[in-house]
Chain A
Amino acid sequence: MLVKQLLRGIGLSILLVVLSQSLFAQEKTITGKITDSKDGSAVPGVTVTAKGTGAGTQTRSDGTYSLTVPNSATTLVISSVGYATQEVSISGKSSLDLALVASTTSLNEIVVVGYGTSRRKDLTGAVSSVQSKDFVKGPVTNPDQLLIGKVSGLQIINSSGQPGAVTIVKIRGTNSIRTGNNPLYVVDGIPLDGRSPRPGLVNSGLGTTPDANPLTYINPADIASIDVLKDASASAIYGSRGANGVILVTTKKGLVGPARIDVGASYGFSGVMRKIKVLDASEYRSALNTYSAPKSDSGASIDPFDEIIHKGAPTQNYTVSFNGGTENGRYRASFLYSDQQGIIRKSGLKKYVASFNDQHKFLDRRLSLDFNIIAANVTEKIAPISNDAGSAGNIISLALIWNPTLPLIHSDGLYNQTNPSGQTNPLALSDAYNDQTSITTLLGSLSAGYKITPDLEYKILLGLNYGTGVRQQEIQGWIKSLGNPQGGSANTANSQLFSETITHTLNYIKQITPRLNLNAIGGYEYWKTTYQGSGIFGSKYNLNQSQTDITPGYHYYNNIQGGDQSQRVDYSYKDPQVELQSYFARVVLNYNDRYLLTGTFRADGSSKFGENNKYAYFPSVAAAWNITNEDFLKNNGIFNSLKLRVGYGETGNQEFNPVDAALQTQTYNSYNNSSVNHYGNPDLKWETVTAIDAGVDFTLWKSRIWGYVDYFNKVTHDPIVDFPIALPSAGGTVFKNMDGQTHPTVGYTPKATVENKGVEVSLGVAIIEKSDLTWNVSANATFVKNKFKSAELSELPFLKNTGGLHGQGSSGAYSEAIAHDQPLDAFYLPIFPGFDKTTGVQPPSGSPVFGVGDPNPSCYYGLTTELGYKKWTLSINAHGNFGNMIFNNTAMSVLNISNIIGGRNIASNLLGNGESTANPITPTTRFLEKGDYFKLGNATINYNLGKLGKAIRNVNLYVSGNNLFVITKYNGFDPEVNIDKALNGIPSLGVDYIGYPTARTIIFGVNFSL
């Protein structure tokens, strides 16, 4: 299929080449040099384009350029990151030198939009663009961390300290009831699948280990910019995958000039940002008396949590890149090695990433060929930490509750495995548990463009993304009292992800009249993805059954066959293939730089839907008015720029699993045992988000103040919900649209919508702008209100429950639900009745109620400041949110008061609260805590040494700290909570349960060029 489409594309391009031979008009060449107005130094990499034509180039490393333009061209546009864009007339000129003025505003920057670029001031939609110089500094494992707190409307929740752990990224609230709220990631034009090829794993007793971040394989130092398409008018060009917004990652490309080598190295250490306060040994001893608990004082004084910490966990990161080239051929290659060890013993992430890209121009520069490849291997060591451990717990809970008077290791060096209170020794668990994955990813693309005329360019992009993950895990048999099969257990599993993209575009840029410019693009895209895997589980091994008799280097997972044959389980699976086929077009009209109109349209077909609804259409329209270009505001002295934007668009969402909902499918569960999964819903159609955005962009007072304000109102229509099906029918649920319609196959389904309304504000101020001293501050805040509405369901207690609780005393309990007129995942809990004053036991609590708390913050914000003094720069990046509540499942199930009589530790804050040790563990509002916080995400001090000798240039030395502190009243490790407590495919939010604590990392680094 793909080959056929490729051939058609190539056939087309050959045809276009042949047809276009006689179409070029008369041309002239402009040359010149671009310098910095401050010190006259050459500025390489500046984009020079002829306005109203497709002609453009970049300056060489010495700042010079040469551009061939049609005779009709009258104006050059000169733009570069960090400088104000200038437009200069070239009428009658053949050379043009120019000094660029540094700019602190982002309004003139080139912004990547879907299938093309735009100047910020030509945008009509809500797009945030972050250039590499503005990324979050310091040690970064995943590209999404580069944006934390930087972009209004973008919420990035990254609470797990496991290096490489998955983040939740949401743009302007939560659109979908089910999973599938992540934005679409597009790397250099290639839309990604969004899944990681790391095999998942469920340990018996220990629970499910958290997912991996699917973007870990990208080298953060390779990223030139990240653009976030936030409103429907911007993201509608991505149609069915645009509903949750789009994040466009653009990698760095080679610059014209002699080869240049950039080197970066850093080394640092990590520790625990914040601990949960439990009793120390002496407090524990006194608590035993206070509570008249059985004498479980074993005499020692230890800090068990400290024992499972990898103290001073080292982090190191080395990058080398080189780039260079000529007008007709530029290249860049880079290599990354990083090794980030986790703060919990035996966890960490090691990365090797190589990337190479090459841009070549042929045929008088009408044919361009771009080649990109990223090849990466990421190995991950995973600690026994899970989302949903039962009362057996995981290494975190075991360490928190371990009796601090009981040694973890006996004097003979063996682990203490006879804890009278029964739970597993956390240090022994760490030793007996091995879990590692190796993920190899290849992301490659080839793009060819041909300028059929100076105005018209055809492009083809071929991309593929292949990832394979191998996971090996074992629990050695000598560990005692763990809910795993006697004799140890082992898993090996592998999975593979393969996606292919092919995109054809035609781009037409034309100055229709001197005042009216047209930029139009049309295209076709095909995308396909598959995912499959297999694994083997073994248990009951002969070797390593006793601490005193361990064969060094013997791992069950390398010898699965060494286990009991009858206990072996093997499996394989392949997910249904997903195909998307799309046609899209965008037209931008610019009248005199005052009035801008953008219209986009996309038609998407998806194999996820049944015959009746394969295709859907996603239009958008937006307009902008550059008021400062009007005569009445010219030279007004206040506004440098003022733009009003308004847009409307419809986008789709087709992210749901399983993707075979339109078919009737059957699964073989085991030998000679099968069942029907579900009967098909051929009426299933796309979930649509309609969105309005109105915004104003401004820069004031000689560009010292800049910012924007946006109002947005999004409504999710026909939400796709895994809806209960009238029994008896296979599967119990079927994916349906809650559209209030009667369909031929599925009958009637009630109507529901999800609303996200809000305002986002972003403001920057250059407070001091002197040659020796600069200080600027920028801040952003997003206020969003989320509601699920379904009047027809208002009589029901709720549509779906979620926010599953785990651990002791909470079997089958949940904390959140989806109900009419409530925010998604609203807390739904009984009110805590308090303790009875005489017994210290709480009376039985009533039924759960709504209105006790919202896990969605009412506001999330970011704050960045940069202070420069001579060669020193201090940058600080902070973020936080307020208005949300967190359910502290750890406090409820792990650190409860009854532990003290069972010989286990308790949370320090329980002392003296009047609670009896007989008080039941019961989920109530007692465990809801305020989630407001302010986190100092990063602070970096940089010293620009400049040249070192003749060869070494741009030497920068820095020290940088991540997660330096958090200000919050919350009692867990981190109020940024991202633990998957979904129930039946309904995501949850804000339930905290024995997750991996957040790391504080300090690194020292150096960058230089050769």
Chain B
Amino acid sequence: MKSKFFIIAAVLLVGISACTKLDQKLGGDVVFTPSAGVATSLLNGTYNDLTGLLHSQDQIFSLQENTTDESLVPTRGGDWDDNGVWRVLHNHTWTSIHGQPISVFNGLGKLQSDALATLASSPTAQQADEAYFLRSVAQFYLLDLFGQVPYRTVAEYNSIKAAPVLDAAAAVDTLVATLSGIISRNALPTSNVPYRASVDAARFLLMKVLLNKGAYLNREAPTFNDADMQQVVSLGNAIVARGYQLTPNYFDNFGPNNATTGKEAIWSWPNNGSSNNGGINAGGINARWMMTLHYNSWDKNNTYGGAGWNGFSTVADFYNTFEGHGDGTPNTVIDTTKDQRLGGRFYPGVTNESGLRPGLLAGLQKNEAGVGEVDRHGNALTFTPQVSLVETDKNTLEITGIRIVKYPPDYSAYSGGNQKNQLQIFRFADVLLMIAEAKLRQGTPDAAGALTLVNQVRTTRGATAWGSVTLVNTGNVSDPNTLLAERGRELYWESWRRQDLIRFGVFLKPWALKPSDDPKYLLFAIPSDQLVANPNLKQNAGY
């Protein structure tokens, strides 16, 4: 009787179950269902992937600049060792565990992924081309930095399996096809709308792809195809025909009011002083000046110690490529006649606030009243050309190295809030120099046409016009009389230098504080966790 009852009870107990399906119920998030209704916000989310990648001092900027002859971050006593990450970039000794390439690879992967989600969400024709453009930007940087491009088709947007991988040649073909499609469809705005893709931005990116194609296919010994160079010239001419001009005051391209004073923006990031611009975030451009300025550089809002991080510097070899370097009468309100890109001139809204004269900062730094500043030891804050990767002299470790302030600070929101300087991503002066370079590299070089364009840039900047132009001096990377050097002077700290050095065939040459090299450093290592996740990726040679 009892055992019979037990059985009944047991059956009943089991019988009360199976009523919960255990369906997943989300809280704040929603299940992603691709549809036109979400395309706009997804596209904005895709653009926002760029803010950190392009603004931060330790992302694309660091990989493209600190690996070159125009930037380094010396270890200064207690600062900027960070486990050697900055040093190994400059002297080309990094390994596959370096965090910055890993972070950039992941960031570019996310940018591609978010562009795909947008493309899968029934975007309008314009939104689709914006997403294609952003995907191309991601693929371009992956190709440039890592030599391999994992990708997925739109139909496979939500796959989490191993992704197919494009080798350099296939990646170039894909980029050319996609960007040519955007240009011919003409569904985008024609010229620069801050942050938004435009036809001119697509033209610019296609110029970069074609100009570097020879380097991408053979990084140790690039060769250049005549038809590609012709196309670079015609794309460039199409941009020139849109009516861009060189900005008369070089630093107006970068100052707090560059949205209106700059004339060269082909693609830029808005930073319009608002944290939220219809769904687009401000970027935090203050890193561009804080990463290089000294702690005691003047910041009227922060009496002590908050002005800078005292890190990024450049070397004398680069400083010396500027015409007029080391002369002039510093700290007067009268501008000098030297190459204005070297800086040292009065900049309204900046010099009168803090004494800071944008450009390359060498020598004694003074505040707005003309009083010399001091470092934390109480010594004169005199930036010196001599610098080493690890500063060991306690008396000079804070002041070594020439600093570069390319973006005149927005003192209304110096280190907090939203600075109004637009980040220049693609700039018109580069178009002129790229056309010039392509003219020199085409099957029948057009030296005269190239010289005209180079001199157009040089004279606008206040430098002397050249009588002739050569591409590069492979015996002396720092030879000031080459197109490579001119690109350095015009585009320094704009994240192009590493690519230029590779394309001009001199990336592996010795230069200041990089005595030797190995061809493996022409590419960064594929992050090891990506190799595990995606067997289609192959580690780059040497890592």
Contacts and interface: CB of A to CB of B under 8 A. Distances in A.
Interface string A716-751: 000000011111111110100000000001111010
B305 A423 contact: yes
Interface stretch (B103-111, B317-325, B475-483): B103-111
B532 A796 contact: yes
Nearest to B88: A844
Contacts of B6: 456, 506, 508
B31 A729 contact: no
A812 B2 contact: no
Interface in A379-434: 418-423
B399 interface: no
Contact of A727 (B26, B42, B110): B110
A724 B279 contact: no
A734 B160 contact: yes
B159 A422 contact: no
Nearest to A11: B16
Contacts, number: 342
Contacts of B390: 841, 844, 920
B306 interface: yes
Nearest to B12: A12
B417 A581 contact: no
B158 A667 contact: no
A456 B392 contact: no
Given A674-B44, A675-B117, A727-B106, A808 B79 contact: yes
Given A747-B162, A797-B528, A918-B391, A727 B82 contact: no
B304 A922 contact: no
A576 B80 CA distance: 41
Nearest to B48: A673
B17 A669 contact: no
A422 B12 CA distance: 73
B541 interface: no
Given A1-B20, A673-B45, A574 B305 contact: no
B27 A575 contact: yes
A1009 interface: no
Given A812-B85, A918-B392, A673 B79 contact: no
B337 interface: no
A225 B295 CA distance: 58
Interface in A878-928: 896-899, 901-903, 916-923
B110 A8 contact: no
A830 B83 CA distance: 9
Interface centre among A12, A458, A730, A920 (most CB of B within 10 A): A920
B25 interface: yes
A583 interface: yes
A85 interface: no
A91 interface: no
Contact of A920 (B81, B278, B279): B81
A299 interface: no
Interface in B387-412: 389-394, 397
Nearest to A520: B6
Nearest to B40: A672
A485 B416 contact: yes
A606 interface: yes
Contacts of A567: 417
Interface string A773-796: 000000000000000000001001
- Assign chain A's interface to a size class: 35 or more
Given A605-B20, A899-B78, A922-B84, A524 B13 contact: yes
A918 B279 contact: no
A573 interface: yes
A671 B278 CA distance: 7
Nearest to A540: B417
A666 B32 CA distance: 5
A725 B533 contact: yes
A626 interface: no
A821 interface: no
A456 B19 contact: no
B394 A901 contact: yes
Given A12-B12, A422-B295, A797 B113 contact: no
A661 to B, nearest CB: 9
B465 interface: no
Contacts of A750: 532
A810 B302 CA distance: 24
Contact of B529 (A455, A670, A799, A922): A799
Nearest to B82: A811
A422 B306 contact: yes
Interface stretch (A15-23, A149-157, A463-471, A757-765): A15-23
B301 interface: yes
A665 interface: yes
B529 to A, nearest CB: 4
A797 B96 contact: yes
A147 interface: no
A453 B12 CA distance: 16
Given A19-B5, A418-B303, A916-B392, A898 B150 contact: no
Contact of A675 (B42, B99, B306): B42
Contacts of B17: 524, 581, 583
Interface in B350-388: 376-378
Contact of A607 (B22, B159, B275): B22
B23 A607 contact: yes
Interface string A666-688: 11111111111101010000000
A729 B114 contact: no
A32 interface: no
Contact of B304 (A422, A523, A677, A798): A422
A526 interface: yes
A574 B27 contact: yes
Given A16-B9, A674-B45, A730-B114, A809 B82 contact: yes
B474 to A, nearest CB: 30
Nearest to A842: B390
A583 B80 CA distance: 57
A243 B529 CA distance: 27
B31 A796 contact: no
A923 B83 contact: yes
Given A673-B41, A728-B113, A663 B82 contact: no
Interface string A625-667: 0000000000000000000000000000000000110111111
Given A421-B376, A726-B150, A923-B83, A504 B117 contact: no
B305 A665 contact: no
Contacts of A576: 24-27, 29
A526 B18 CA distance: 11
Given A574-B27, A674-B41, A724-B533, A9 B84 contact: no
A572 interface: yes
A577 B25 contact: yes
A734 B112 CA distance: 17
Given A665-B26, A727-B105, A918-B391, A4 B5 contact: no
A734 B30 CA distance: 17
Nearest to A732: B106
Interface string A531-543: 1100000000000
B13 A523 contact: yes
Interface in B317-339: none
Contacts of A456: 2, 5-6, 9
Interface string B503-543: 00000000000000000000000011111111110000000
A670 B393 CA distance: 48
B258 interface: no
Given A1-B20, A725-B533, A920-B78, 17 more contacts: A5-B16, A12-B12, A23-B1, A420-B304, A481-B302, A481-B306, A573-B28, A665-B26, A666-B30, A671-B278, A728-B112, A728-B151, A810-B83, A811-B82, A917-B77, A918-B391, A922-B81
12 contacts: A522-B10, A532-B27, A532-B28, A662-B24, A665-B31, A666-B42, A746-B160, A747-B160, A799-B529, A812-B58, A812-B83, A918-B397
The 7 closest A-B pairs by CB, nearest first: A422-B305, A727-B109, A574-B27, A672-B279, A728-B112, A726-B534, A898-B78
